[in-house]
Amino acid sequence: MEEKREVQYQVYSRRWAVLLVYVGVGAAMQYLWATFFSVTTEAWHFYGFTERVAGEAAMSALSMIIMAGMVILSIPASAVFARLGWYKTVAAASVLMSICAIIRGYVGGNYTALVICTIGESICQPFILNAFGMLAAHWFPPKERGIANGCGMLSIYIGVMMGQFGFPWLQNTFGLDIPGVLKVYGYATVAFTALFIAIARDKPAVPPCEEELISRVNYVEGMKQLAKNRKFLAGMLIYFTLNGVYGAFTTLIEPIINFFNNNTIESLFIGMLGTIITIAGCVGTLLLPGITDRDRQHRRLPLVRICLTGGIIGMVLFIMGHSTGLLLLAAIIFGFFFTGVMPVSLVFGCEAGYPVSEGTTDSLLQLIGNLGSLLILAVVNGVFRGNHSMSMGFIIGITVVCIVIGCVTKEASEKERMLVK
């Protein structure tokens, strides 16, 4: 009779170094996206636009190009990850990102050249940011995968903060012009990429735990099931609103705040507001998911509804904020509630989508979230054309609709929660 061989597992301390360098390239991708968020007006003047509406639309277009890359390429990226593994995919995308960032630094004084480099960067985004689930699965035991995924998501916020605050800080501290700042970002991107290639690996020699053997439906059948799953569709709409409003508002934070303050707010302070939004969001990301985990029934939607309401309060304070203190309060409230609850909405979507693989549901949620940012920005720029009273009314209105959807949607069943990690 054949003896049953005991399988050995090992958790490597190197996993934290791998995670850290991945956070670096993830953050680099995001600060390339967020470069002009806090200096929108200065940027469109620099690139030769003479009308505010056309200038704001031109700078928003750069952000929308990055979002479009995620929308178009998220599904193909998942196939590349499956074929090449996450390390080779992220490494190749990071090299392309570095090339585009360096070129952008030297030709960034020309808007057309800037657009071409941004298109290159947009191709890289889904091949970098959609990898943290695979990294966590290969390197971390189940009890640490929540932390690993959270750190992967924090890289997004850290990168946005580096873009929003870093640009005006570099200008004010070192006297750099726009091409000079773009060069600094290019060199930093090369450094992050080099560290990632040198330290990260696809998987350890010995896995950290036994692979889950839960039977899952295939990709095509899973997509069919998700299309008929009302709870998952509701989760998609919630994440569409959360990510869409966050992406649109952070892209237009400088023109929106100056619209309500008669162009009296300096870019450095607006960059600081963006940084506070991001820091508050990081705190919320660390604290809010624990609230639903400690709930005996692990309910997600009540907290989502509360946080959406908190986000509306923050946006209203931004509209009313004619003082430094009120704007700072608005940034804290909006960041903590609106940004911090995103991981909770992602977990709800994965739970609602069972038995479809979390990789499929997560990719779809990321796709729909970026599509939300793209569409909301298109409406704000194309329909309201610089009338940010109408823009904010529209953004608040769709958030209210999202709260209503959260009220009429049922929670995922206990079985779904138990089977989805």
User: Residue for token digits 């990301």?
Assistant: 285
Q: Output the DSSP codes for 391-407.
A: HHHHHHHHHHHHHHHHH
d(C-alpha 165, C-alpha 145), whole Å: 30
Identity at 219, one-letter amino acid code: Y
- Which structural domain range is residue 59 located in? 12-211
What is the 8-class DSSP label of residue 34? S
pLDDT at 3: 45
Mean pLDDT on 310-337: 91
Q: Is residue 376 a part of any domain in this protein?
A: yes
CATH classification at residue 41: 1.20.1250.20
114-128, 203-217, 327-341: segment of lowest average pLDDT: 203-217
* Residues 67, 181 share a domain: yes
Of residues 87 and 262, more confidence is placed in 87
**Domain match, 100 and 203 both:** yes
Whether residue 338 sits in one domain with residue 389: yes
- Domain co-membership, 158 together with 106: yes
Residue 385 pLDDT greater than 70, yes or no = yes
- Co-location of 263 and 340 in the same domain: yes
Q: How many domains does the chain have?
A: 2
- Residue 1 domain-assigned? no
Q: What is the mean pLDDT of residues 351-360?
A: 70
pLDDT surpasses 80 at 263: no
pLDDT value at position 420?
47
Mean pLDDT along residues 340-347 = 80
Does residue 419 sit in the same domain as residue 343?
yes
pLDDT digits (tens, 9 = 90+) for 230-253: 888 888 899 899 888 988 888 888
Residues 353 and 279 in one domain: yes
In the DSSP assignment, the letter for residue 11 is: -
Greater pLDDT, 99 or 322? 99
- Report if residue 309 sits inside a domain: yes
Co-location of 346 and 389 in the same domain: yes
Secondary structure (DSSP) of 258-278: HHTTTT-S-HHHHHHHHHHHH
Q: Kindly state whether residue 6 falls inside one of the protein's structural domains.
A: no
Highest mean pLDDT pick, 18-32, 70-84, 119-133, 349-363: 18-32
Same domain, 45 and 165: yes
> Is 156 domain-assigned?
yes
pLDDT exceeds 80 at position 208: no
Residues 174 and 233 in one domain: no
58 domain-assigned: yes
366 in the same domain as 258: yes
Q: Are residues 319 and 385 in the same domain?
A: yes
pLDDT band at 114 (very low <50, low <70, confident <90, very high): very high
Last residue of a domain, one of 211, 230, 260: 211
pTM: 0.77
The pLDDT score that the predictor gives to residue 285 is 80
Q: Which of 211, 244, 264 is the last residue of a domain?
A: 211
